Amino acid sequence: MSARVIQPDRTSNASRASGSSFYLAMRILPKAQRDAMFAIYGFCRQVDDIADSPEPREGRFAELAAWRVDINALYLGRFSVRTCDLAQPVRDYGLEQADFLTVIDGMEMDVAADIRAPKWSDLDLYCDRVASAVGRLSVKIFGLEPKSGRQLAHHLGRALQLTNILRDLDEDAEAGRLYLPLEALVEAGIQSTDPSTVLASPRLERACAQVVEAARNHFDEADETMSFASRRSVRAPRIMGEVYRLKLEHMVTRGFAPPRLPVRLGRMRLLPIIMRYALI
């Protein structure tokens, strides 16, 4: 089967991000950094949309392979319509090719099979690929030192992704996916890995508690790393961390038993966080 012709998505990167906490955090950055971050966001959204597409797996693999070709070409000085906005950030901030390819690796994990109750080690690998790799690109744009930047990417990326997993339990189940780790299910006394069965279990709260604890630990480690970095270089990740930790704690207060009403933070809850770091 040949790959279908892929039309470039001409929606602006900022428009894709608008309305998200990511958008609010990036708006406080200087224009060059902001544009670079929106370019990375646009890349991530497009490959994520491929992974989540209803298209047959073979077609999605082909589309991700085409993105891999485009990223490789970008680092050889050739860019396509959909990678042209990445060219300047790659040049200006020394973004590593391997991190873009690692994000694609993560998307391929979702395409290869519907992930259901992965082992903790596999879930950690997934989080590294789809979240911490994005963090490794981002911290270069923020201007962190290499060692502290990689530490922040490691921990904050995982904290955000684990929070997303808890937030999206029902949405993922509708797609046939379940990212709660197998060990957490077993320790909670849940024998099934079927998404709908797990989400209906009265023991779900116990399984989710392990993911909550892991996310909190990563948030704490990220905060520790940021406490030693220049305040200006961690303005945006501070906002992301505080907003997502607030979402996590709201979910804990709400609980994970059905019905799991969406957790939404109103502007009045977000504004103080934004202003705290926008004025640095």
| CATH code at position 127 | 1.10.600.10
Residue type, position 47, single letter:
V
In this predicted structure, the answer to whether residue 279 has a pLDDT above a threshold of 90 is: no
CA-only gyration radius of the chain, Å: 19
Q: What percent of the chain has pLDDT over 70?
A: 92
Q: Is 219 helix (H, G, I), strand (E, B) or coil?
A: helix
> In the structure, what pLDDT confidence band is assigned to residue 3 with cuts at 50, 70 and 90?
very low
Q: Report the pLDDT value the prediction gives residue 232, as an integer from 0 to 100.
A: 93
pLDDT tens digits, 26-44 = 989 999 999 999 999 999 9
Task: Please report whether residue 60 resides in a domain.
Answer: yes
The pTM assigned to this predicted structure is: 0.91
- How does 149-170 read in b/e, with b if 16+ C-beta sit within 10 Å? bbbbbbbbbbbbbbbbbbbebe
Q: Is 272 helix (H, G, I), strand (E, B) or coil?
A: helix
Residue type, position 260, single letter:
R
Task: Please report whether residue 7 resides in a domain.
Answer: no
pLDDT tens digits, 223-256 = 999 999 999 999 999 999 999 999 999 999 999 9
Count of domains in the chain? 1
Residue type, position 217, single letter:
N
In this predicted structure, the answer to whether residue 19 has a pLDDT above a threshold of 60 is: no
Task: Please report whether residue 39 resides in a domain.
Answer: yes
In this predicted structure, the answer to whether residue 280 has a pLDDT above a threshold of 80 is: no
Domain boundaries, position 78: 16-258+266-278
Task: Please report whether residue 8 resides in a domain.
Answer: no
> In the structure, what pLDDT confidence band is assigned to residue 1 with cuts at 50, 70 and 90?
very low
Task: Please report whether residue 2 resides in a domain.
Answer: no
Task: Please report whether residue 6 resides in a domain.
Answer: no
Q: How many residues does the chain have?
A: 280
Task: Please report whether residue 168 resides in a domain.
Answer: yes
Task: Please report whether residue 5 resides in a domain.
Answer: no
DSSP H helical ranges for 128-234: 133-142, 146-167, 169-174, 182-188, 195-200, 204-227
